[in-house]
Structure formats: structure tokens, C-alpha cells
Amino acid sequence: MREQGGLVLGIGNGFQVLLEAGLLAGALRRNEIPRFRCHDVFLKVENNTLPFTNSYRRGEVISVPIAHGEGNYYIDHQELIKMEQQGQVVFRYCTEAGEIASEANPNGSVGNIAGICSKKGNVLGLMPHPERCAEEILGNTAGLHIFLSILNWLGINRQEGVTVHG
């Protein structure tokens, strides 16, 4: 793992820190409609080859909560094209049917982007909160798969008591 660089996961304000530190490209701005948004959204998994996403299927649609006032991801058009070509767009806001549509975008993010990774794939930043949907008692385990993916990548078997349904 040392040769590849350690794994770094930034969620919400953690994503903002990764952007400001230059570990990820782009910036976060105030939501297009300037108000705090706190509700569940649908995300489409665009890249499932990462240490963070190997437990998902490419194109899978998951429901994850958001809670932010400055979640409007921005990057210039040329950089966006490069990121897309390099598989750095990891999650996009979408409809329940998986359609990438403006009405599914809660904050105005360019390209409906909800999460991106570094060129090496070892740094992931996203605005939605997978940690808030990682236990059955919360009514949703879609976010658990990010953490299970990390364990898979590290070669760690799930410990007894960790059960995933759905």
C-alpha cells in the first residue's frame, strides 16, 4: 500500500479540505439555490474499479443522504473532460432510474458530479454522506459498501457480525 499511496476518504467538509489542499482537482461553491440541503439523493456509480468502490456494480444506483450548503462542485470544462477520460468521476447525482438529469442535481454541480478521485485512485472525495447509511438500523446500507470495498482492497475479510443485506 505504501508504494501506491495510502487511502484518503473525504466526505462533505472533508471533500472540501481535499480540494483546498490540492489532493483533488476542482472547487466547491455555494449551492446553486443558496440554501442548506438535507435529504436523500440517488447516485450512479461511474467507476467501480477503485479501492473505495469495488463492492458496487458500475452503473448501480444507490440512495445516500446529503447535508450541505456548499456542495456545488466546479471544475473547468477542459479539466472535466480529462477527469472523465481518466475515470476520476466516481459518483454522479441521478434519478432513481439512473438518468443523469439536472432535476436530480441538488446543488448545481458541473456534470452532476457527487464524487471524484485522484489520478491514482487512492483519494476519494464526495459530498453525500455514505457513513449515514451504513447500518441496517438507519434503514439503508448503501454506504456500507464503500467501507467494505476498502476492506476488500486491503485483503481484510469481514469480521463476524458485519452483515450486508440488499
Residue 103 confidence (pLDDT): 97
How does residue 159 score in pLDDT terms, banded at 50, 70 and 90? low
pTM, to two decimals = 0.89
pLDDT band at 4 (very low <50, low <70, confident <90, very high): low
Burial class (CB in 10 A: 0-12, 13-18, 19+), 123: buried
pLDDT at 141: 93
CB 165 within 8 A of CB 144: no
The class of domain 8-154 in CATH terms is alpha beta
pLDDT at 157: 65
Q: Which residue has the higher pLDDT, 127 or 71?
A: 127
Amino acid type, 8: V
Average pLDDT, integer, range 102-122 = 97
pLDDT range class, residue 165, cuts 50, 70, 90: very low
Give 40-79 pLDDT, tens digit per residue: 999 999 999 999 999 999 999 999 999 988 889 999 999 9
Burial of 72 (0-12, 13-18, 19+ CB in 10 A): buried
Domain map of the chain by residue range?
8-154
Query: What is the overall mean pLDDT for the chain?
Result: 91
Q: pLDDT at position 46, please?
A: 98
∠116-144-131 over CA atoms, to 5°?
70
